[in-house]
Each structure stands twice: as structure tokens, then as C-alpha cells.
């Protein structure tokens, strides 16, 4: 179904895909995307039948070429820009999503598109993927978390290099630096490979996936002692659950577990 013309949702069992749907503009980010993506995310996070969410870009040429540079806006003061962007903060919606989110990235992944991918939990690239943050070339800086998240993912030195040069990084370089964790064998095979990964994650007890995501994200935000407390609390909350009992029973009975999410 469609959230609006620029954002589609596709359901595939326990996996839900959010599609950036502006192929003719290389899925450049417009207001429909800024509004539609948070709507889709919240909808899917609230739907118990969905266990993993995947982003992809429509068309052959790319995931997303960044903010729509051709979007018309009247002159704005700094305060007006700040207020407009503060209201949306659409990429930050991902920080409040409990379910694992994967970005399936082919072709161009630039600017705001790369910032969207950086806010996802796993980045899976096609061999033809190209990453860049070209904002300084437009006289700007990333405004969707790029200056903060990139350093957390690939380290401050490499992040500063990408931010200052705006140079494009290939899929194999992205794999080396940890910007992505997997590269598909072929561009055509990307979606099948991502689907298999998403299904594997979806087959696990959903409460455990949500808890491990929360704890691991905590590693980037909390001092060690608080992070260890968070981990312990989440562990203790999961331990009495039905899925933990089922996992142990299935192991003893030498069969596949049947997780219910309880």
C-alpha cells in the first residue's frame, strides 16, 4: 500500500519494506518522504505481525540521491529554517523504533539518503553502491545526523575525510570501513540477499531482537556503567519469557523452536 506518492510499504510475511518511490529523481527527499517515512515506521513498529523493517529505493539507479535540490522554497531566515527542520527531524524517528531496521542500498546513496541509511541498524550494499556526503559543496553541512552518526559508525578520522571532501566511497571501501556490514554478490541479487537476512532476524524471538537493539544502541549513548545496567535489566526482563522456555525445550527435543513473541 502507499503512504503517499513518494513512500510505499510492501508486506512480505514478517518483513515489511519501506520503498522510497521517486525513481525518476533518484528518490531525492521531498516533503512527502519527510512526512511519509515516519508515518510508515510508526505504523510498522506498532504492527505485531511485522518483525523486521527494510528500506529500499525504487528504480535501477540508486537508493537515494539526498535532499531534493530542486524543491522550491521561499527565502527563509535561519530561525525559520531551524523551526521547519526541528518540526520534522524525520530521520530521528528511527532512534525510537524498537524493531530492527535494515537499509538495502544500491547505486547512489548520498546526502540525506546516506543519513537515513546511517540511522538504520544494518546497512547492506549492492556492489554498485556509492556513498557520499556532498553537503559542503552546496555550502551546507549534513542536517540529518550525518556529522554525528558517521563518526560513530566508521570513526572520527574517516568520517572527517568524507565530510570535508564529499568524495564518493565505493561498496568495497564502505565494507572495509564498516559503513556497510555486507555487500551482495551482484546488484540484481541485493534484494534476495537482504530478504534472506531479514527473514533470519525475523525468525528470532522479537522481544530479544528489540532488547539487543536497545542495549547495543545504548553502547553509543551511555557511559559504561549505565550501559551495563541497561543490559542487565533487559536480560532480566527477557529471562522469564515463554520464548526463552521454548528455545530451551526445542534444544532438548532436537527440533526447531516455535517462537510466539511471548
Q: Which residues are catalytic?
A: 115, 135
SS3 per residue for 221-251:
HCCHHHHHHHHHHHHHHHCCCHHHHHHHHHH
Q: Does 112 bind ligand CO8 (CB under 6 A)?
A: yes
Contact 159, 136 (CB under 8 A): no
Please state the closest distance from residue 136 (CB atom) to ligand CO8, in A. 9
Q: Which of 134, 145, 205, 206 binds ligand CO8 (CB under 6 A)?
A: 134
Strands, E assignment, the chain: 2-4, 7-12, 15-20, 52-57, 62-64, 101-105, 108-110, 122-125, 130-132, 169-170, 182-183
Q: Which of 3, 8, 20, 28 binds ligand CO8 (CB under 6 A)?
A: 28
Side by side, which strands form the sheet with 101-105?
2-4, 7-12, 15-20, 52-57, 101-105, 122-125, 182-183
Q: Which of 121, 135, 231, 243 binds ligand CO8 (CB under 6 A)?
A: 135
Q: Does 26 bind ligand CO8 (CB under 6 A)?
A: yes
- For ligand CO8, which is the closer residue by CB, 16 or 110? 110
- For ligand CO8, which is the closer residue by CB, 26 or 54? 26
- For ligand CO8, which is the closer residue by CB, 67 or 215? 67
Q: Which of 65, 118, 126, 201 binds ligand CO8 (CB under 6 A)?
A: 65
**Cβ atoms within 10 Å, residue 153:** 17
Contacts of 25 (CB under 8 A, 6+ apart): 65, 68, 70
Interface stretch with ligand CO8, choices 3-11, 25-33, 46-54, 93-101 (CB under 6 A): 25-33
In the numeric block, which cell numbers belong to residue 224?
A: 559504561
Q: Does 70 bind ligand CO8 (CB under 6 A)?
A: yes
Interface stretch with ligand CO8, choices 61-69, 82-90, 190-198, 201-209 (CB under 6 A): 61-69
- For ligand CO8, which is the closer residue by CB, 160 or 232? 160
Burial (CB < 10 A; 0-12, 13-18, 19+), residue 27, is buried
Binding site for ligand CO8 (CB under 6 A): 25-26, 28, 65-70, 108, 110-112, 134-135, 138, 140
Amino acid at each position: 500500500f502507499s503512504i503517499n506518492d513518494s513512500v510505499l510499504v510492501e508486506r512480505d510475511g514478517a518483513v515489511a519494506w519501506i520503498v522510497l518511490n521517486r525513481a525518476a529523481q533518484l528518490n531525492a527527499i521531498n516533503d512527502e518522504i519527510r512526512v511519509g517515512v515516519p508515518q510508515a515506521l510508526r505504523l510498522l513498529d506498532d504492527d505485531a505481525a511485522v518483525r523486521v523493517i527494510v528500506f529500499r529505493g525504487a528504480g535501477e539507479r540508486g537508493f537515494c540521491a539526498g535532499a531534493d535540490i530542486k524543491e522550491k522554497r521561499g527565502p527563509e531566515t535561519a530561525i525559520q529554517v531551524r523551526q521547519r527542520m526541528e518540526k520534522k527531524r524525520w530521520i530521528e524517528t528511527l532512534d525510537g523504533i524498537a524493531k530492527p531496521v535494515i537499509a538495502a542500498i544500491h547505486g547512489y546513496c548520498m546526502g540525506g539518503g546516506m543519513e537515513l541509511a546511517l540511522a538504520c541498524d544494518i546497512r547492506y550494499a549492492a556492489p554498485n553502491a556509492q556513498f557520499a556526503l556532498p553537503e559542503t559543496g552546496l555550502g551546507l553541512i549534513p542536517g540529518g545526523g550525518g556529522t554525528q552518526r558517521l563518526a560513530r559508525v566508521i570513526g572520527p578520522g574517516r568520517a572527517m575525510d568524507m565530510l570535508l571532501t564529499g568524495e564518493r566511497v565505493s561498496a568495497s571501501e564502505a565494507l572495509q570501513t564498516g559503513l556497510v556490514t555486507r555487500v551482495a554478490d551482484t546488484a540484481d541479487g541485493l534484494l534476495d540477499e537482504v530478504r534472506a537476512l531479514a527473514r533470519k532476524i525475523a525468525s528470532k524471538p522479537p522481544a530479544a531482537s528489540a532488547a539487543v537493539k536497545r542495549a547495543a544502541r545504548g553502547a553509543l549513548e551511555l557511559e559504561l556503567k549505565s550501559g551495563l545496567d541497561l543490559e542487565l535489566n533487559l536480560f532480566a526482563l527477557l529471562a522469564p519469557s515463554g520464548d526463552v522456555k521454548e528455545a530451551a525445550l526445542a534444544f532438548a527435543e532436537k527440533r526447531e523452536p516455535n517462537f510466539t513473541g511471548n
